[in-house]
A and B are shown apart, each in its own frame.
Chain A
Amino acid sequence: MRVLVQFRSSPAVHAATLRGEAMPSFAATAAEPIPGLVIDPAYNPVQVPTPQTDEPGASPYRYSPAVSFSMALEEATYLVRGTVPDDPDDQRAAVAEATARPEVVGVYSDPVISTCLVCPGDPAVGNDQDVATQLGVKALADAGMDGYRVPVAIVDTGINLAYLESKGRDPKFSRQRSWAPAGVATRPGQHPVGHGTMCAFDVGIAAPKATLLDHALLLSETPGETAMSGLLSDAVLSYSRLLEIIQAIPASRRSLVVNNSWGMFSPTWDFPVGHPGKYSDNPAHPFNVIVASLESAGADILFAAGNCGRDCPDSRCQFGTSRPICGANSHPSVLSVAGVDTRMRRVGYSSQGPGRIDPDKPDLSAYTHFTGSGVYPADGGTSAACPVATGVVAAVREKYPSSVLTPAELRALLFKTAQDLGGTGFDHDFGWGVIDGTALTASLAGVKRSSRSRARR
């Protein structure tokens, strides 16, 4: 572990520092070498200004009232950089030995820091293998959970199966249960490679054996809109089909996981504030009603939180200071997914809560902005975080259908086992934390599995 050691001056060190030379040796200051502490000779000692207060007995480290700083030799202290052992016992001994020396003021951590959060245009951080490792895919797979035969609907721009196969994925596919809006010329599973194919690839990180359903909502042929967009009425039709699909599955093995990496970038796309027919904050809107219906029928529905985070929003965002997590993305019956990179930091564009319908959004975080599908330089946006989480949910559903664990119960388990980041417990940046397949698998050990979970051939 890297540390900074602050020590009191000696004439030799002070003279060397003034000449801009490397510290003669730590032995010049310390009477004897300190076991376990290794000083970095390449790091020139840095004098630390000594805070002083005029108030007798007051701590100068409260910095209030204002303090002055001394650089006088007789009061000078210096920082050097070094390491102590990683082993906790050895580390404790080395630090105790160092701080017991009269010449040492203190030993402090020297954590890795970096400049800023990942923003649009930044290079990828890690790859899909890193995501699999951090997600706990091995623990899920060791427990027999890789999504075998679990239907996962990718409600998006369409899937290209040949591309997925070229990237080493081999998902099952259900053409019969796929859907596209009227007028889409390409066939399910053969749509142009794009956003939906990225989502399908990322579901495969944790659920490579899931059965994909291609709902190409965002290939809508609506005139005058952007190349990849749809209308919410198309989403109603897609969900109506999904409702039929789940109702046709026997209750004892019912499961359907629905990935939605889409939403609105601007409140102006909706009715104005105060209109009773608004979508953004209205649970009575038909799409929000059918979302609740589908969840109550046993489907797990995941929505991306959005890419309008305060630090560096996507250039399409037009929410200003108003709440960007809106509509079904903020529905209480869905899992709203924020984005972190593989260093466990929130990506700066990940939308923050509160949500417009349910204020406690986002629900949790998953990994994004990594090299993965190859569709884009990075599988990025909360668009990628959402299918990463969808894959974990689909993996679990192989053994635990909704008759055993309702969607609400599974969400509660995901919250309980998430790796907490940010403030303690829930916060509006990360939700309950980062999804953790290892902890989730451990907690599922106490849940009775379905006696009719999917037998493999």
Chain B
Amino acid sequence: MPRVMVTLRLAPEQASLAEVRDLLGLTPDEVDPAFGVVNISPAEHLYTILVDEAAAGRIADAEPVEGVYGNPRVEPFGPPEEDQSSP
């Protein structure tokens, strides 16, 4: 299942996987443990987690949730494809 990023506003002591799972009622397999709880704005106490899309829909209106965001693929910008043969 595709995963999406969910932004949370947390107190620093809440910024652990166990705390977040408890807070949002998520099962362990719904949250990416390797990604963890990432502090994206220390000044604003904003964190993000990576969760299954279906679970994200379920928690979207929970109190610490600031938003649910896409996780698009990215690629190198060149050289343009036509120029990538060996010299």
Contact = CB atoms under 8 A, between A and B. Distances in A.
A306 B34 contact: no
B80 A120 contact: yes
B40 A384 contact: no
Nearest to A278: B70
Interface in B18-67: 32, 34-35, 38-44, 46, 48, 50, 66-67
Contacts, number: 176
Nearest to A181: B34
B76 A261 contact: yes
B81 A231 contact: no
Which of B41, B66, B69, B87 is the most central at the interface, judged by chain A CB atoms within 10 Å of its CB?
B69
Tier of interface size on chain A: 35 or more
Given A228-B75, A236-B38, A262-B74, A286 B5 contact: yes
B23 to A, nearest CB: 18
A182 B34 contact: yes
Contact of A236 (B34, B40, B84, B87): B40
Interface residues of B, number: 39
Contacts of B85: 376-377
Contacts of A195: 76, 78
A225 interface: yes
Contacts of B38: 236-237, 240, 286, 290
A349 B41 contact: no
A279 B69 contact: yes
A271 interface: yes
Contacts of A270: 70, 72
B80 A381 contact: yes
A286 B72 CA distance: 12
Contacts of B75: 218, 226, 228-230, 262-265, 316
Given A277-B69, A284-B67, A289-B41, A232 B76 contact: no
Contact of B48 (A157, A286, A379, A383): A286
Contacts of A61: none
Nearest to A280: B72
Nearest to A315: B81
Interface pairs A-B: 5 shortest CB-CB: A381-B78, A380-B79, A120-B80, A120-B82, A121-B82
